[in-house]
Amino acid sequence: MTFQEIIFKLKTFWASKGCVSLEPYDFPVGAATFHPSTFLRALGPEPWRAVYAQPCRRPTDGRYGENPNRLQHYFQLQAVLKPSPDDIQDLYIQSLEYIGVQRKNNDIKFIDDNWESPSLGAAGVGWEVWLNGMEISQFTYFQQVGGFDCKPVTGELTYGLERIAMHLQSIDNLYEIQWNEDISYGEIYLQNEQENSKYNFELVEPKILIKLFDDMEKECVNLLENNLPIPAYDILLQNSHSLNLLDSKQAISSTERQAYILRLRKLSFLIAQKYLENREKINFPLMKHK
């Protein structure tokens, strides 16, 4: 099964379970959780189901295209279900069967792994899903987002698409993944990995990013004062990415990093609060789909 087919099929599967099929977010994110369809929609009482593929950037994971298992730019497929249905775990296993991973002859384990994002003020309880020993998904019940208790609770399923494709195509090098029948993953993304690794590790200019972070933080506060949490959130995403770049360039110490995370966290709390207020003002319009 090709990489693109896996995406099609997983999206089809979850669409058939009532998820709206969305597109990736257009700001850099470290994980699909940062897509507003997860972070913002997990807040408040409104029901929500969505599925989307999301390219993610983790600058420190770059290996100049030389490691067959690590990437600084990769893909997650995300399904969020709010409230999490009682059969969510079985639905997840069904989704694997839908792409050809049968439960009767594959060892699928759910390994205890709670999740926490200090910069988003978010925490959840959940698992790593292991397919024959390989971590292929993260499965999380959100307990808190932006400092607010989640009620109802969102169930988040995040598929590591490259790993699943490697399993299905029985290969050891992710660059050999067949994107479709003709073109490989490496043909599309190898150069991207090489160039971006060089940028992330060597050419990031800390001064620019630190100034950008400070300026954008001001912008974000201004937007919040004007009661615009959605664009404010976009800025939070940009700053989060700047911080990851500073990290990959090893431009900041661990204490400095901690201080930056606290600044992001403060903003995410405010964004969550404003977003909730704005939704409440319009009477939580999605409640009618309950």
Partner 1 sequence: MEKNNLLFEIGLEDLPARNLNIFSEKIKKNIEKNLSKNKITFDSINNFYTNIRLVFVVNNIPKKIILEKKLIKGPPLNICFDKKVPTKTGLGFAKKHNVDIKKLSTKEIDGNKYLFFEQPEITINTKDKLSEVLENSISNIEDQKEMRWGDSNTSFIRPIRWLLLLLGDENIHLKIMGIETQEYTFGNKSLPNKKIKINDVDDYFSKIKNEEVEISQNKRKEIIKNEIEAIIESNFYDKTIDLQLVDELANMTEYPYVFLGKFPEKFLDLPQEVLKYVIQDTQKYSLVFKKKKIINYFIGISNVKINKNIIQGNERVINPRLDDAQFFISKDLDSNIFQNKEFLKRVIFHKKLGSMFEKVQRITKISSYINNESYQDEKLLHKDIAELCKLDLISNMVVEIPKLQGYIGSYYALKSGINNIVAEGIKDHYAPRNPEDSIPKSIDAQIVSIADKLDTIVGMFLANEKPSGTRDPLGIRRSTNGLLKILLNTNQSINMTLLVNKVYDIISLNFNDLKKNKKGLDDCHIYFKEKLISLLIENYNFKDNVVLSVINNNKNINPYEILKKIEAINTILADDDYQKMFNNAKRVANILKKSDLAPTRVVNENLLRESSEKILYNKITEIEEELNSSLVDNNYIEYLKKLNSLSACTKIFFEDVMINDKDENIKLNRLSLLYLINSYYTNLANVANLAY
Min separation Cβ 198 and partner 1, Å: 16
Tell me the C-alpha distance between 161 and 131, whole Å. Answer: 13
Applying CB under 8 A, among 202, 203, 254, 282 the residue interacting with partner 1 is 254
The smaller minimum CB distance to partner 1, of residues 141 and 199, is found at 141
Question: Alpha carbon of 54 to those of 14, 25, 38, 60, 269: distances in Å?
Answer: 15, 7, 12, 18, 24
Min separation Cβ 237 and partner 1, Å: 26
Tell me the C-alpha distance between 138 and 30, whole Å. Answer: 14
Residue 109: CB atoms within 10 Å: 12
The smaller minimum CB distance to partner 1, of residues 81 and 232, is found at 81
Select the span of 9-17, 21-29, 30-38, 99-107 touching partner 1 (CB under 8 A).
99-107
CA 251, 62, 31, 216 dihedral sign is positive
Applying CB under 8 A, among 23, 151, 198, 225 the residue interacting with partner 1 is 151
Question: Alpha carbon of 199 to those of 60, 72, 209, 223, 246: distances in Å?
Answer: 11, 11, 13, 30, 11
Name 151's bridge partners.
none
Tell me the C-alpha distance between 57 and 260, whole Å. Answer: 18
Q: Assess 112 for contact with partner 1 (CB under 8 A).
A: yes
Q: Assess 274 for contact with partner 1 (CB under 8 A).
A: no
The smaller minimum CB distance to partner 1, of residues 255 and 283, is found at 255
Residues 64-83 that bind partner 1 (CB under 8 A): 67-70, 83
> DSSP alpha helices (H): ranges in 99-228?
161-169, 185-198, 206-225
Q: Assess 150 for contact with partner 1 (CB under 8 A).
A: yes
Cα 168 versus chain centre, distance: 22
Residues 169-208 that bind partner 1 (CB under 8 A): 170, 172
Q: CA angle at residue 114 from 69 to 243, to 5 degrees?
A: 60
Q: Assess 289 for contact with partner 1 (CB under 8 A).
A: no
Applying CB under 8 A, among 103, 198, 211, 218 the residue interacting with partner 1 is 103
The smaller minimum CB distance to partner 1, of residues 137 and 270, is found at 137
Applying CB under 8 A, among 134, 230, 262, 287 the residue interacting with partner 1 is 134
Phi then psi for residue 53, to 5 deg, are -95, 145
Q: Assess 222 for contact with partner 1 (CB under 8 A).
A: no
Applying CB under 8 A, among 1, 15, 22, 93 the residue interacting with partner 1 is 93
Q: Assess 38 for contact with partner 1 (CB under 8 A).
A: no
Contacts of residue 110, Cβ cutoff 8 Å, sequence gap at least 6: 89, 127, 128, 129, 130, 139
Q: Assess 141 for contact with partner 1 (CB under 8 A).
A: yes
**Site for partner 1, rule CB under 8 A:** 63, 67-70, 83-87, 89-90, 93, 103-112, 125, 127, 131-134, 141, 143, 150-153, 155, 166-167, 170, 172, 253-255
